[in-house]
């Protein structure tokens, strides 16, 4: 479902649920739009009053704020406090002008917010190192939400040892048993050709993929994306996972970047090898991929869309593949990987080790060429936030009850709630007509 209609009285415009995310990759997965494009404030590089003027002078952005009934924000961990406060200020002013209701938090908009602050943090403002970094440091944060829900059921991993390892690393901890597990996964051997190599830096990813492609000594075929729509919507497509140009050759390692054929378990993150190219009647020359599961299929172009409420405003048609000898840790956020190789000694940011390790489904699929325990870091502000609102340490030490935990907080504001979940947990469906939501998958990976 791309959007939800919320009934209004006759003669008034229909108000919508707008689906947004902090990154282009996440927005494309939602079939929504980036939060920046929805809000109309661009990079938010000015004071709130100036950004409000931008919205008021932008008919399309102003219309979105007028129509929005519920606002979904995915990957909240990459949104900083000032930006979150600015959006609340804009919502409150625009909604008060439209409905004549003053000083209602978020102008009465329901929030549906998901993310895990233990994953990669917002990019810091080097010009203002004292700037509040995380969204939960926003002045409006506490008044925006009153109900928090922690979703604990884990789907990606089933190995209890791996789950325990990830739980500890997520909190910036490692015990002797965890250390022994990771040391057993270390090897000086060259990574298996089927393993996806994760790197912190994009230049390393590009270098590895380029060198591997050249080493095939096979003809390279280039597939260019076909975009439609107007700026700035098409620009958002370029921030997504589907590449502008995809270079393929027989022998190339590739990964699906969308759920292509779920009933055959060909989903986002499935890896395989290009075995040949096949002429098709109406789609030209297409690659045939033999996936590591043994399934071999012709891969046809798929379409990614950007929506503005109920309207599709941009499309990209491209093969749902990316080169998969190497990926960046940032790009892999949200993926599941069966066979992963990485060097954890090169991690440089809070949550980076956790994001990298939590991609893998089992310990058998994890291969390390380097490991430095000092790189396992959880931001102290994030630890404090979850200790205050979400983390029940006693239950963790007792083995993590699999049931969901709901924490109620009294508030006079528009009812909202927060979902927190264990690493790789699934989110529950929410009836937006009944309650506003802020999901923080506490450990959504």
pLDDT in tens, 259-298: 788 678 787 778 899 999 999 888 889 999 999 889 999 9
Given a contact cutoff of 8 angstroms between Cβ atoms, the answer to whether 315 and 305 are in contact is yes
Residue 397: the pLDDT is 43
Q: Cα(57)–Cα(72) distance, rounded to whole angstroms?
A: 24
Residue 18: the pLDDT is 92
Residue 157: the pLDDT is 85
Residue 392: the pLDDT is 43
Residue 128: the pLDDT is 58
The answer for residues whose C-beta is within 8 angstroms of residue 250's C-beta and 6 or more apart is: 216, 218, 274, 275, 276, 277
Q: Cα(198)–Cα(127) distance, rounded to whole angstroms?
A: 30
> Going along 91-179, which residue ranges are E strands?
110-113, 147-151
Both tokens assigned to 364: 């058998």
> Going along 264-353, which residue ranges are E strands?
271-280, 284-291, 296-298, 302-308, 311-318, 321-323, 326-328, 340-343
Q: ∠ at Cα 404 (400, 405), nearest 5°? A: 90
Residue 137: the pLDDT is 93
CB atoms within 10 A of CB 244: 11
Q: Tell me which residue of 15, 105, 73 sits closest to 441, measured CA to CA.
A: 73
Both tokens assigned to 316: 């990209």
Q: Tell me which residue of 4, 2, 3 sits closest to 433, measured CA to CA.
A: 4
pLDDT in tens, 92-151: 999 987 766 667 899 999 998 988 899 989 876 655 556 678 999 999 998 898 666 666
Strand bridging mode 147-151 / 405-408: antiparallel
Residue 31: the pLDDT is 78
Given a contact cutoff of 8 angstroms between Cβ atoms, the answer to whether 340 and 359 are in contact is yes
- What DSSP assignment string belongs to 188-204? SSPPPTTSEEEESSHHH
Q: Tell me which residue of 357, 382, 403 sits closest to 178, measured CA to CA.
A: 357
CB atoms within 10 A of CB 46: 14
SS3 300: coil
Q: Cα(213)–Cα(323) distance, rounded to whole angstroms?
A: 9
Query: Domain boundaries in the chain?
Result: 5-153+402-439, 160-165+172-303+319-375
Residue 156: the pLDDT is 83
Q: Cα(214)–Cα(226) distance, rounded to whole angstroms?
A: 26
Q: Cα(252)–Cα(204) distance, rounded to whole angstroms?
A: 18
Longest dimension (CA), the chain: 69
**CATH of the domain spanning 160-165+172-303+319-375, picked from 2.30.30.30, 3.30.360.10, 3.60.15.10, 3.30.70.141:** 2.30.30.30
Residue 117: the pLDDT is 92
Burial of 436 (0-12, 13-18, 19+ CB in 10 A): buried
Residue 194: the pLDDT is 81
SS3 390: coil
Question: pLDDT (tens digit, 0 to 9) for every residue of the chain, 445 residues total?
Answer: 233 333 333 444 455 899 998 887 777 778 788 898 889 887 677 899 999 998 998 888 999 999 999 999 998 999 999 999 999 999 999 998 776 666 789 999 999 898 889 998 987 665 555 667 899 999 999 889 866 666 677 778 888 899 999 999 999 999 999 999 999 999 888 878 788 899 888 888 889 999 999 999 999 999 999 999 887 778 777 777 788 999 999 999 998 888 788 678 787 778 899 999 999 888 889 999 999 889 999 999 999 888 776 678 889 999 999 998 998 888 787 778 888 999 888 888 999 999 999 999 999 999 998 888 999 999 999 999 988 865 444 444 445 444 444 333 333 333 444 554 444 443 333 334 334 444 443 333 3
Whether this prediction's pTM lies above 0.95 is answered by no
């Amino acid at each position: 479902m791309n959007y939800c209609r919320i009934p209004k009285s006759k003669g008034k415009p229909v108000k919508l649920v707008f689906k947004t995310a902090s990154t282009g990759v996440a927005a494309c997965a939602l079939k929504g739009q980036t939060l920046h494009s929805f809000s109309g404030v661009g990079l938010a590089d000015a004071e709130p009053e100036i950004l409000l003027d931008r919205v008021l002078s932008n008919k399309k952005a102003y219309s979105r704020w007028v129509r929005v009934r519920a606002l979904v924000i995915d990957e909240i961990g990459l949104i900083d406090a000032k930006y979150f406060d600015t959006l609340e200020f804009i919502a409150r002013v625009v909604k008060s002008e439209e409905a004549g209701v003053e000083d209602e938090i978020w102008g009465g908009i329901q929030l549906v917010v998901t993310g895990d602050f233990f994953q990669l943090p917002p990019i810091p403002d080097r010009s203002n190192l004292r700037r509040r970094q995380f969204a939960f440091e926003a002045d409006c944060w506490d008044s925006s939400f009153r109900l928090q829900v922690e979703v604990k059921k884990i789907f990606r991993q089933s190995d209890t040892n791996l789950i325990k390892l990830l739980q500890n690393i997520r909190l910036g901890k490692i015990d002797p048993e965890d250390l022994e597990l990771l040391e057993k996964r270390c090897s000086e051997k060259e990574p298996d050709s089927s393993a996806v190599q994760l790197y912190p830096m994009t230049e390393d990813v590009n270098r590895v993929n380029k060198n591997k492609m050249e080493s095939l000594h096979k003809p390279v075929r280039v597939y260019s994306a076909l975009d439609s729509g107007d700026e700035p919507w098409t620009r958002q497509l370029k921030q997504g996972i589907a590449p502008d140009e995809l270079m393929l050759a027989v022998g190339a390692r590739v990964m699906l970047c969308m759920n292509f054929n779920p009933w055959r378990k060909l989903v986002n993150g499935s890896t395989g090898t290009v075995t040949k190219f096949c002429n098709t009647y109406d789609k030209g020359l297409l690659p045939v991929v033999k996936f590591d599961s043994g399934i071999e299929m012709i891969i046809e172009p798929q379409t990614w869309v950007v929506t503005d409420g109920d309207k599709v405003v941009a499309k990209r048609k491209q093969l749902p593949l990316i080169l998969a000898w190497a990926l960046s840790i940032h790009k892999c956020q949200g993926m599941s990987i069966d066979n992963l190789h990485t060097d954890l000694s090169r991690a440089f940011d809070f949550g980076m080790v956790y994001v990298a390790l939590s991609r893998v489904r089992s310990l058998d699929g994890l291969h390390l060429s380097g490991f430095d325990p000092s790189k396992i870091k959880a931001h102290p502000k994030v630890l404090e936030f979850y200790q205050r609102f979400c983390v029940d340490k006693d239950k963790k030490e007792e083995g993590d009850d699999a049931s969901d935990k709901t924490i109620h907080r009294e508030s006079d504001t528009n009812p909202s709630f927060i979902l927190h979940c264990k690493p790789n947990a699934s989110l529950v469906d929410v009836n937006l007509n009944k309650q506003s939501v802020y999901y923080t998958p506490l450990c959504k990976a």
